[in-house]
Structure 1
Amino acid sequence: MVFRTLHDLDSTAGTVRLVEAGSAHAVHMTGTDIILVPQPSTDPNDPLRLPQWRKNLTFSILCSFVFLVNFATGGLAPAFFDLSIEFDKSTADTAGLLTYCVLGIGLGNFLWVPCAVYFGKRPVFVVSSGIFFAFSCWSAAADRYETLLVARVILSVAGGSTEALGAAIVNDLYYLHERGAKMGVYMIALTTGNAVGPLICGFIATAIGWRWFLWISTILSGITFVAVVLLVPETRFERKYDDGIFRADGHDGKFKSAALEVEQVSETSNVLLPVRKSYWQQLSLWSGIPADTSFVAIFLRPFLLLVYPAVFWGVLSYAMSLVIVIGVNDLYSFVYQAPPFNFTAGISGLINVAGIIGNLFGAFVSGYLLDRFSERRARHNNGIFVPESRLPLVVIPGVLVPVGTLMFGFAAQRQMHWAVGYVGYGLVSVGVAATGNIAMIYVMDSYYPVAAEALLLVNGFKNVVAFGFVNGIVPWVGASGYEEAFGTLAGLYVFIVGLAIPLYYYGDRIRNHTSSHWKLINSSL
């Protein structure tokens, strides 16, 4: 097996010209001086050339899917207290209905991403959404704890397709200057699913029983499956990443605009240009497989990417954010539905209102605000964009999350007013949206040609790491108390997110060195 450097695929190493500075022939965002990165190809089937409404429809359906996955898996949390009584299970066993789902979603990434690279993204989403629907039915009909657990784990593995591949499709459909805003919307869907699900489940469980929440999830998953089958096209596309105009040294090369190139090809040669596929052709489940590699090679090749500093930091920072959020989700029903609060499942579930507010704010910071901030930095840098320009905004969750973590821990330990814990959860929720999104966008910007594989590691390992922490948080709290456990989590979060500081100052040099000298990329990429 032959390995190459990332530089062989993309000499920019993520440093590109984003704002016009003398590149007269580049393709621009209409009516602006923003250069489209990557440049659209001449192929009418290039996903970047899809009509905007088709892009947004596809993206909306996938956001609905990722929302539903987290709605269904995380939504059952307010009913844990009732479930533990009904099935005669301990707190730790009942919490497994969430923590094993976290593991299942993470492990699902390691299955679905190689399948998407080998077979295409569309068949993966069709199959995974079908499995998710089938096992949603099974979980709703389950009459034993073990049956319910198995069904939820399998549907979580199926739902894992939405994480790395959902973010990768943003790469397929949108340009660099759009990634932050679109990923912000994607992160809203992901994180609010975790908040809206428990909020609704609490009242449903109180009124008519927890099982009806699962039937509602099943109905929604059936609708999503039909939408994926009928409306989501294949977005896999073999793209030339290294256009001459976008060189890592910031100097402009020669580049013909896509429109000019089409005109010249048609006038000077008899080469037939690709024909736009029909609607039904776009919905084909078969788009070919790579001829120069095996599925096993595709399955193995992402793991070497973990040594890239941006990917490693992305895994740890996103994982730590998720650990804290899931830790609160696992425990709040046992805090607020027990004496002295004695809240119902519905009232304790209202903690997720604060979570939704935190998610929305975090998504705004790491979405729209991040794009505008990066564009402004590029303008001050002679039009040159560097991925590290995304990192300064991580200071916002870097301050809010540890404060919220300490608030919840102290409130739970000392049985302080419920508002302290609820507000604390709102601040914690900023982190999983903001930190996670900034981490994923930084990885995509740094390693664009291998974004799907890199995001597999970020999303897959972050869930595995989170499972390891969260699976032990109930006995940890039982042995040490809420203050010590959540105080330790706050300290770990500050340390890991703080690693963005050396990345900000030295990441450009590290990224260029690793891209040029580290031979980690399978030659078939």
Structure 2
Amino acid sequence: MPRFISLKELDQTEGTVQLQQTSDSGTNDIILVPVPSKTDPNDPLRWSRWKKHVAFTSICAFTFLTNYAIGGLAPAFYILSIEFDKTMNQTSHLLLYPILVLGVFNFFWVPIANYFGKRPVFVFASLLLCVCYIWGAVATSFKSLLWSNVIAAFAGSSTEALGAAIVSDLYFLHERGQKMGIYMNAISGGNTLGPLVCGFIVQSLGWRYHKWIAVIFTAINFLAIFLFVPETRYDRDGATLASTFQEDIVIGKSNPAGVREAISTTSDDAPQVPKRIFVQELRIWTGTSSTNLFKMFIRPFPMIVFPAVIYSFLCYSVSLVIVVAVNILNPFVLQAPPYNWQPQINGLINIPGFLGNLFGAWAGGDLVDIFCVWRTRRNNGIFEPETRLYLLVIPLLVTSAGCLVFGYGVQRILSWVSLFFGYGMISVALTATPTITMAYVSDSALPVNADALLLVNGLKNVVAFGFLYGVIPWVETVGYVDVFGTLAGVFVFIVGVGGLTLLIFGAKARHVSARWEVILL
């Protein structure tokens, strides 16, 4: 019989863990959380560094290529609207419907991966993505091109939540911010580097060559996933998450933050599980979960009551809305009078977008990790997930100002410099905000982080689709200043007011919600 349990039953820490302790020599040692297995070398947390990085990079490349070929087509929208005799609003569907699919089908892939394993999902989906790009490259009608993008988004949606969950599969808590930042750069980078490259390709060779280039890279990525991404699903005893593993800590090498890392050792008499060889790790089928598949599909939804999940998906939603709104609108601004730019010049607007993404990922990843180490040291080695939220002040200030710069720049027909600066400032939010808030979700609900992140990634795209579907009529009705001014206000309210509330009451809310029986077994 199915029953509901609380997060407290799976993780006694409720997200609050001892992350540092002072050694006899007076240094602050980082404690490994989660605790790696002492006896199983197949535990992903015990993989070699290069093996972790290659697997993680392959998944990042997968999510990058999903957005590269779909979102990267934006500079060709003006040309495609003429070629297929479609309106500006109709042409935008090439991006809008894939955004919806990228979110909705998280609710399909995550339960499938939890039941059958992540490896079979990634292998199949990466192959399907390659096939869809071939379809798009030879499409002869707008409808065919649209459907190729939609099915490609279905394949690529497998990486939206599962890619973020792999961060927790492979890396420890003190590494999560940086790796989540890299992953978010892979998502956003496809939407910035894609249009940048596509602009030049469209002008010189035609939009179909953009798709063919994506075919080549996705085929290579499929081989990389098949060869170098073993199964990362691992049955870890939730009770061990609360352990500090203090009896097995030894001093490791110093990290850039000046804190030496605690490394676990294994006693000589502990029985060891045989280590799988390379050929064994190539197996697609690794068995199914003991939990019923139907339960897997419905299990995530009750977790929407967790404050961390609600806040993260709202922050991610508004960040995505603002950035994609600029992606949709800028070709119709810069390629039309009075700017009259060619597609390859139009694509250059993604340079500040890419730089904004890089800065946002650094601020939300590495800088947050450094800040957390500092705060944890001052807190007697105790880490609170809410520590990550302080640095949301960076995207809060930069992105809200960027909205106003871009809106006024377009409506007042100011220099292209204002549009570039505005877009760069806006782009900071697309990496900084979800990097911080999704790591916060993982910290708060680690045993069920795949399901929790599924809600964040799935719901954010549904909300974004609802906003973006009407963004062109909205702009045509009230103008750019009102639209982007309103978006700036919504962003400040959700990120700023919500973040301040969690900084004050988040720990208490987290400990209370950890006792709610909303997790289905």
Bin for the TM-score computed over the shorter chain: over 0.9
For residue 235 of structure 1, the aligned residue among 226, 232, 236 is 232
For residue 156 of structure 1, the aligned residue among 153, 158, 173 is 153
Correspondence list, 1:330-369, <5 A: 330-369=328-367
For residue 86 of structure 1, the aligned residue among 83, 87, 106 is 83
Whether 1:112 and 2:117 are equivalent positions in the alignment is no
Distance 2:236 2:342 in 1: 54
Correspondence list, 1:127-166, <5 A: 127-166=124-163
Distance 2:41 2:241 in 1: 21
Q: Which residue is equivalent to 1:101? A: 98
Q: 8 Å contact 1:71–1:196 — kept in the other structure? A: yes
Distance 2:241 2:52 in 1: 27
Q: 8 Å contact 2:5–2:517 — kept in the other structure? A: yes
Letter paired with 2:506? G
Distance 1:358 1:240 in 2: 40
Letter paired with 2:49? Q
Q: Which residue is equivalent to 2:7? A: 6
Return the offset for 1:264. 4.0
Return the offset for 1:265. 3.4
Distance 1:321 1:453 in 2: 21
Correspondence list, 1:147-296, <5 A: 147-243=144-240, 246=243, 262-266=267-271, 273-291=272-290, 293-296=291-294
Distance 2:275 2:267 in 1: 14
Q: 8 Å contact 1:14–1:447 — kept in the other structure? A: yes
Q: 8 Å contact 2:20–2:28 — kept in the other structure? A: no
Q: Which residue is equivalent to 1:249? A: none
Letter paired with 1:365? A
Return the offset for 1:262. 4.3
Q: 8 Å contact 1:79–1:345 — kept in the other structure? A: yes
Does the C-alpha gap of structure 1 residues 134 and 417 become closer, same or farther in structure 2, counting only changes over 3 Å? same
Q: Which residue is equivalent to 2:30? A: 34
Letter paired with 1:82? I
Q: Which residue is equivalent to 1:20? A: 21
- The DSSP-based 3-state class of the residue aligned with 2:29 is coil
Return the offset for 1:349. 1.1
Percent of matched pairs sharing the same residue? 49
- The DSSP-based 3-state class of the residue aligned with 1:265 is coil
Distance 2:204 2:112 in 1: 42
- The DSSP-based 3-state class of the residue aligned with 1:20 is strand
Return the offset for 1:254. 7.4
Q: Which residue is equivalent to 1:270? A: none
Q: 8 Å contact 1:304–1:520 — kept in the other structure? A: yes
- The DSSP-based 3-state class of the residue aligned with 1:134 is helix
Q: Which residue is equivalent to 2:409? A: 411
Q: 8 Å contact 1:243–1:255 — kept in the other structure? A: no
Return the offset for 1:241. 2.8
Deviations 1:98-131 (A, max 9, x none): 1111111112211111111000000000011011
Q: 8 Å contact 1:244–1:253 — kept in the other structure? A: no
Q: Which residue is equivalent to 1:515? A: 514
Distance 1:399 1:188 in 2: 20
- The DSSP-based 3-state class of the residue aligned with 1:33 is strand
Spell out structure 1 runs of 4+ moving beyond 6 A: 257-260
Distance 1:381 1:146 in 2: 58
Q: 8 Å contact 1:108–1:159 — kept in the other structure? A: no
Does the C-alpha gap of structure 1 residues 83 and 114 become closer, same or farther in structure 2, counting only changes over 3 Å? same
TM-score by length of 1: 0.93
Return the offset for 1:369. 0.6
Q: Which residue is equivalent to 2:301? A: 303
Letter paired with 1:366? G
Return the offset for 1:263. 2.7
TM-score by length of 2: 0.94
For residue 420 of structure 2, the aligned residue among 422, 425, 435 is 422
Return the offset for 1:50. 0.5
Return the offset for 1:81. 0.3
Whether 1:469 and 2:480 are equivalent positions in the alignment is no
Correspondence list, 1:450-461, <5 A: 450-461=448-459
Q: 8 Å contact 1:374–1:390 — kept in the other structure? A: yes
Q: Which residue is equivalent to 2:313? A: 315
How many residues were matched structurally? Answer: 504
Distance 1:403 1:419 in 2: 15
Distance 2:485 2:28 in 1: 48
- The DSSP-based 3-state class of the residue aligned with 2:288 is coil
Q: 8 Å contact 1:245–1:255 — kept in the other structure? A: no
For residue 55 of structure 1, the aligned residue among 40, 52, 55 is 52
Letter paired with 1:466? A
- The DSSP-based 3-state class of the residue aligned with 2:234 is coil
Letter paired with 2:270? V
